[in-house]
Amino acid sequence: MAGSVPHVPVPPHPTVVLLNARPWLYDIKATSLKEVSEEQLAEAVHGADVVWLQGVWELGPYGRQHDLADPGRVQHFRDCLADFSEADCIGSPYAISRYCCNRAELGTEEDLASFRARLAKRKVGLMLDFVPNHMARDSPWIDKPGLFIQGSEGPVFGRDPYSGDWTDTAQLNYWSETCREHMLQELLSLAERCDGARVDMAMLCINDVIERTWGPLLREQGFQRPKEEFWLWALPRLRERHPDFLLMAECYEYDEILPSGTMLEILRQGFSAAYDKVVYDRLTEGHLDKLRGHIYGHPCMATGQLCHFTENHDEDRAAFHFEGKAMAAALASLTLPGPRMVMWGQAQGFKARLAVHLRRASKEAPDAAIAQAMRGLIAALPSCRGQWKELQIRGDAAWRFLAWSWKGAADVAASVVVVNYSDEEAWANVELGGLFEGKGDTLCMADALTGEVFERSLAALGAEGLVVGLKPFQSHLLLCNFK
């Protein structure tokens, strides 16, 4: 059945909803994907173009036992879940045993295909995890020759160049032709079952990164650096079968290894998009010059290849992390070009961190103000497609603002984003340039976050720009049409 579901076309700048499979099913009291009702599905995928269903694949018992034997991990679980019990621990969804649906907890391969078909009826694509760097230590592949880097006592632990060992995993060997061919076939198999893949730590397969992490050990064992990069070799073969498959790379910058930019390199090697964690970090720091420098200066920003977010499973919840800046940060991030990622629970303003090693999250009441604003923002994101343009800002307090526009979406004449990302109330004039020339006399501007509607004459907008006054960390997302 998996091959019978046609691929869902993914629009430019898609909204990607990160749906944590096990915690979500636990929350809605479903024991498998086939038990999810249409109402539950509709609520979970509201506003999505793509659903990243995290943690679908088979996990062995080793990962869970490993986690429960580690006092530090158990304390982390208790910090995330006040009433934690051992039954809540499921192991890491990134210590995969096999790329088969987790039958015991989610259902069969047929159930996964049926779930994908239900999404497709809603014109929503399915994205699944691909974890190229490592496998679980109890994977049935573990004894296959040529797949893993070997140590004195069997496969070495997975890791990156700078972190410690990931002791629930075994490191795959991308300088082995056997491993490269095997992982290509796994990727091709996965692509038959979904519309896109979120590729975990994708930069760890780049030869320069492998050189830094494993080079001496691999040469000692008789392996040589391949002449061709794995992704440059593998992705054209994937694209032959699935030309529109969405490949989104989790990617972190290794400036010492790839001075020209890890993110640029991973895009050069064929990925559709890569994480832009720099925007997240700059929004956290609040340094507006650095933030603007990255947004307006990065060569891939306008191309729509950078994925933006203010929350994912590796970070604290946005409402906790950004506190009173949460909505301003979300608006600034999610209206930029590229995939816009929203995590399950973010639209409700949840604050308790979700640990993906656990089957459930803390129960929380939604934050009414954040829920209203996020619902409006997510609904308006399709209006933030087309041509993206920086808007000039005039006035003594102009430095406190971020502003840009979108033109070309089918439902609006243009969308205008204005964010006061500072701790003081400020006024400024936003120049709208040629956004609305020759189309009418009066503009209706509906704020997607609050529902307020403003009317402005085009003559006044042309003369003085859009006059905005915003309180600290307040924003406008103005959907503009002619009256």
**Beta carbons of 345 and 354 less than 8 angstroms apart:** yes
Alpha-carbon distances, residue 140 vs 67, 136, 137, 149 (angstroms): 20, 9, 9, 16
Burial class (CB in 10 A: 0-12, 13-18, 19+), 19: buried
To the question of domain 2-383 being in CATH 3.20.20.80, the answer is: yes
CATH of 386-482, one of 3.40.190.10, 1.10.287.3510, 3.10.20.30, 2.60.40.1180: 2.60.40.1180
Strand order of the sheet with strand 442-447? 386-390, 401-408, 414-420, 475-482, 442-447, 453-457
pLDDT at 137 over 60: yes
Closest by Cα among 43, 47, 56 to 11: 47
Residue 323 has what pLDDT?
Answer: 97
pLDDT at 1 over 60: no
Amino acid at 237: R
Residue 106 has what pLDDT?
Answer: 98
With vertex at residue 155, the alpha carbon angle to CA 149 and CA 158, rounded to the nearest 5 degrees, is 75
Name the pTM for this structure: 0.96
pLDDT at 440 over 90: no
**Beta carbons of 303 and 445 less than 8 angstroms apart:** no
223-233 pLDDT tens trace: 999 999 999 99
Percent of the chain with pLDDT over 90: 95
Residue 438 has what pLDDT?
Answer: 64
pLDDT at 464 over 60: yes
- State mean pLDDT over 193-215: 98
- State mean pLDDT over 83-96: 97
- State mean pLDDT over 97-104: 97
35-80 pLDDT tens trace: 999 999 999 999 999 999 999 999 999 999 999 999 999 999 999 9
Predicted confidence band of residue 2 (pLDDT cuts 50, 70, 90): very low
Closest by Cα among 197, 190, 242, 236 to 7: 242
* Distance (Å, whole) CA 211 – CA 229: 12
Number of other CB atoms surrounding residue 171 within 10 Å: 25
- State mean pLDDT over 399-424: 96
pLDDT at 157 over 90: yes
Burial class (CB in 10 A: 0-12, 13-18, 19+), 401: buried
* Distance (Å, whole) CA 216 – CA 394: 56
Predicted confidence band of residue 459 (pLDDT cuts 50, 70, 90): confident
Residue whose entry in the numeric block shows the structure tokens 């307006």: 296
pLDDT at 84 over 50: yes
Residue 471 has what pLDDT?
Answer: 98
Radius of gyration over alpha carbons of the chain, in Å? 23
Percent of the chain with pLDDT over 70: 99
Gap between the terminal Cα atoms of the chain: 50
CATH 3.20.20.80 domain range(s) in the chain: 2-383
* Distance (Å, whole) CA 467 – CA 450: 18
Alpha-carbon distances, residue 474 vs 250, 280, 390, 470 (angstroms): 30, 18, 19, 6
Predicted confidence band of residue 436 (pLDDT cuts 50, 70, 90): confident
* Distance (Å, whole) CA 449 – CA 331: 9
Mean pLDDT of the chain: 96
